[in-house]
């Protein structure tokens, strides 16, 4: 009995601990800086984010992001400042609401095209129905009857 | 059947669009990449002169054609384009055209020594924290921006620039400038 109570209490403590750890919390300034720096492209690198680059330009961009966060700017305002200077290119993931955002439709278009191709191939493999038509059956029966009559 | 035809047409149109887009993209001059700043008001700056003789603010140059050149002594193409900049500066030095050199990711001492060694007579200023370069969307030196008398960025050239390109861009903007 005691062992059962201990297990229940332990389970409750664990559940509460998990709930506390997983509760939504406001991102700290450092987390926001990291997140924004992850989304920005380093202009002097090959496919690296500002967070991952060690270049001087990336360092200056991180400093600017940190300053804007301290000034109370939102993530969108900070990103739009960089977009104003470099265009949407500066974002590693193009925004959906832009011409470059059309790239997000590419996987869907490829999937749709693939499905169409596969369905057409399957339909072709099955081929036309092998069941003879009623007129063909009638013609065959008539031929058999004729040949039987000829053989006497 | 109808659906298959629609899909076929859509695929053909998509491929056609992709081909045209790529063809147009490859025809673009990489020295004239249009990013966010072209056609918009030039970001304001107020920077100290490299020789320490005061500050230069873009707002003080309103009504003039302003040529902003980002440079660095460690940048070989900057040295390559410098003779053209010097000739154009001499040509327009008494006119309504102002040239401003902004140093890029470099100490003031090195930039000033380079400016003196290369015969740079126009105003050169220090962008110590790189904020002005970031606000203009600079990828790396040399980059040259043409700002009209209305304060709007009319053109941008990435990489070493030649005399003809400089003169052409300046003359396009001069008719609107204060004489």
Of the candidates A64, A87, A113, the beta carbon closest to that of B11 is on: A113
pLDDT (tens digit per residue) in B110-164:
999 999 999 999 999 999 999 999 999 999 999 999 999 999 999 999 999 999 9
pLDDT (tens digit per residue) in B149-158:
999 999 999 9
| B85, HSE (Cβ side, Cα atoms, 13 Å) | 30
Question: Looking at beta carbons, which residues of chain B come within 8 Å of A44?
Answer: 139-140
Of the candidates A64, A87, A116, the beta carbon closest to that of B35 is on: A87
Q: Mean pLDDT in each 10-residue stretch from start to end of chain A (152 residues)?
A: 81 83 79 96 92 96 97 95 91 73 73 84 71 85 90 76
Contact A85 B136 (CB under 8 A): yes
User: Taking CA atoms, what residue in A is nearest to B14?
Assistant: A109
Omega prior to A37 cis, within 30 of 0: no
Q: Is B139 exposed, middle or buried (0-12, 13-18, 19+ CB in 10 A)?
A: middle
Under 8 Å between Cβ of B174 and B97: yes
Give the residue from B5, B35, B105, B142 with the most A CB atoms within 10 Å of its CB, the best one to mutate: B35
Residue B7: its pLDDT value, please? Answer: 74
Counting other chains too, the contacts that B89-92 makes at CB distance below 8 Å and 24 or more residues apart are B89/B120, B89/B121, B89/B122, B90/B121, B91/B167, B92/B170
Under 8 Å between Cβ of B61 and B122: no
In whole angstroms, what is the distance from residue B35 CA to residue B113 CA? 32
* pTM for this predicted structure: 0.71
DSSP string for A40-51: BBPTTSSS-BTT
Confidence label for B29 from pLDDT (cuts 50, 70 and 90): low
Of the candidates A84, A109, A113, the beta carbon closest to that of B36 is on: A84
In whole angstroms, what is the distance from residue B49 CA to residue B65 CA? 19
User: Taking CA atoms, what residue in A is nearest to B153?
Assistant: A85
∠A54-A58-A60 over CA atoms, to 5°? Answer: 120
pLDDT (tens digit per residue) in B64-121:
999 999 999 999 999 999 999 999 999 999 999 999 999 999 999 999 999 999 999 9
Residue A97: its pLDDT value, please? Answer: 64
Question: Mind telling me how many Å the CA of B75 is from chain A's nearest CA?
Answer: 14
Q: Which helix (H) or strand (E) holds B56?
A: strand B55-57
């Amino acid at each position: 009995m005691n062992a059962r109570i201990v297990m229940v209490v332990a389970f409750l403590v664990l559940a509460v601990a998990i709930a506390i750890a997983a509760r939504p919390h406001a991102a700290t300034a450092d987390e926001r800086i990291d997140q924004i720096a992850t989304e920005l492209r380093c202009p002097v690198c090959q496919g690296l984010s500002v967070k991952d680059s060690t270049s001087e330009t990336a360092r200056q961009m991180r400093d600017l992001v940190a300053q804007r966060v301290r000034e109370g700017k939102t993530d969108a305002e900070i990103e739009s400042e960089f977009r104003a200077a470099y265009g949407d290119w500066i974002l590693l993931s193009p925004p959906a609401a832009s011409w470059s955002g059309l790239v997000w439709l590419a996987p869907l278009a490829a999937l749709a095209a693939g499905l169409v191709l596969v369905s057409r191939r399957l339909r072709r493999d099955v081929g036309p129905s092998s069941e003879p038509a009623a007129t063909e059956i009638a013609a065959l029966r008539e031929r058999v009857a004729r040949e039987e009559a000829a053989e006497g | 059947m109808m659906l298959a035809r629609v899909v076929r047409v859509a695929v053909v149109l998509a491929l056609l669009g992709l081909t045209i887009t790529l063809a147009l993209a490859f025809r673009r001059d990489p020295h004239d990449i249009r990013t966010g700043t072209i056609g918009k008001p030039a970001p304001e700056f107020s920077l100290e002169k490299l020789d320490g003789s005061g500050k230069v603010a873009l707002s003080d140059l309103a009504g003039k054609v302003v040529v902003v050149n980002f440079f660095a002594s460690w940048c070989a193409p900057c040295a390559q384009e410098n003779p053209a900049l010097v000739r154009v500066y001499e040509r327009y030095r008494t006119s309504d055209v102002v040239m401003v050199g902004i140093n890029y990711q470099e100490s003031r001492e090195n930039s000033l020594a380079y400016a003196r060694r290369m015969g740079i007579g126009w105003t050169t200023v220090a962008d110590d924290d790189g904020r002005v370069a970031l606000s203009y969307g600079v990828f790396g030196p040399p980059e040259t921006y043409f700002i009209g008398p209305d304060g709007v960025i009319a053109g941008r050239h990435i990489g070493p620039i030649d005399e003809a390109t400089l003169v052409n861009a300046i003359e396009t903007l001069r008719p609107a400038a204060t004489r």
